[in-house]
Structure 1
């Protein structure tokens, strides 16, 4: 097997929760059964893997016959939901053992699910979940803001095929993501204080 035949992992893309949850359209770029499935961001990018950092605020075993853990992770713009079961044992173990609130970094695959009423929910199937500090979370917010604004700046480029696709699939004013991105960066100090307060309250309750 040549090096060209060795499959490589897709680069994990960054997006804030507000955009991620708006991204209900997924697609393949070939008819190959093993072809990667991409989520289309409204700002014009495809993502087979995502990387997010936020505050883990809640964990729950929502499985019936087997453990199936759901984690609620909040960034400055909204909420990500991650789900891990028997096929993601390490991530499931992290969700089982972690005590919210905690800053966590998650790498994983985006997944879409259509509900009975026709609504599309978007979640993450985590490959890894790691506890991080406030500085790492703040850096993720700043870097994700930069990536988001770069996508918005390139949205009108004629050769940007994923922006054209997003324009066709979503009826979302692109400017709203500028507002949420700016708000996310401005909220950094406030959200750090909120986690510290929540941690202090939790400690006090356990004394």
Structure 2
């Protein structure tokens, strides 16, 4: 599977071109002004808006530099269901396909979600730190290629497509500084613990429901808010039922023991 690249929203939303890769590989890449060649992306940001239109979900996810347009459709039913359980605002991580519709100044880049889950502020800040690092590496490669009038094929293609200048590179470096200013100074990577799905769901359900329990769909939604995908929440619910941690007092209902 194509690796998922990290890119800031401001850079991705400014993408206006695609390019084919050498080496006999089919398909094209979305190319951004900062020199990212991407087919798939991994982004983390704040879900600020979502809406449903038939089988299509549309959302906006903001990072410190701008906003990603995100879609999810019938090709990724788990992403659709998971997104439908999340109420903005919430930090969310998305992996998906990079797309570019339209041409020229009317082109707009979007992310077609394949998988997503709710995360916390620490996960968002760590994503910002790692994305800043790879972005600065790309900008350094652009700057060197511009000064020496030579570089690898992808870097030179990005320079040609966008007519990048030294001023443009300095402006993009400023974007990175802006992103880094949003990161908490007391960031502690050790705060992030993946946890076991059944444990996350069990903890999420402890305060849910009354004498009759909660509807299964509400139990799944609670798991999603705890950081599971809809598919993983359903799997965790099956584990809890098998282990006797909960039972079904009525059809479509779940109640903890």
1:85 matched to 2:80? The reply is: no
RMSD (CA atoms): 2.2
Q: 1:131 maps to which residue? A: 118
Greater RCO between the two (CA within 8 Å, min separation 6)?
Answer: 1
SS at match of 1:100: coil
Candidates 10, 27, 31, aligned match of 1:18:
10
SS at match of 2:178: helix
Please identify the structure whose Cα radius of gyration is greater.
2
Deviations 1:126-171 (A, max 9, x none): 1111111111110000000000001011112433211211111114
Measure the CA separation in 2 of the matches of 1:36 and 1:11.
15
SS at match of 1:35: coil
Candidates 174, 180, 183, aligned match of 1:185:
180
Unaligned runs of 5+ in 1: 1-8, 191-207
**Ranges of 4+ aligned residues in structure 1 off by more than 4 Å:** none
Q: 1:204 maps to which residue? A: none
Query: Aligned pair count?
Result: 178
SS at match of 1:96: helix
Q: 1:41 maps to which residue? A: 32
With normalisation by structure 1, the TM-score equals: 0.79
Deviation at 1:108, TM superposition (A): 0.7
SS at match of 1:39: strand
Deviation at 1:31, TM superposition (A): 10
With normalisation by structure 2, the TM-score equals: 0.64
Deviation at 1:67, TM superposition (A): 1.9
Candidates 57, 81, 88, aligned match of 1:100:
88
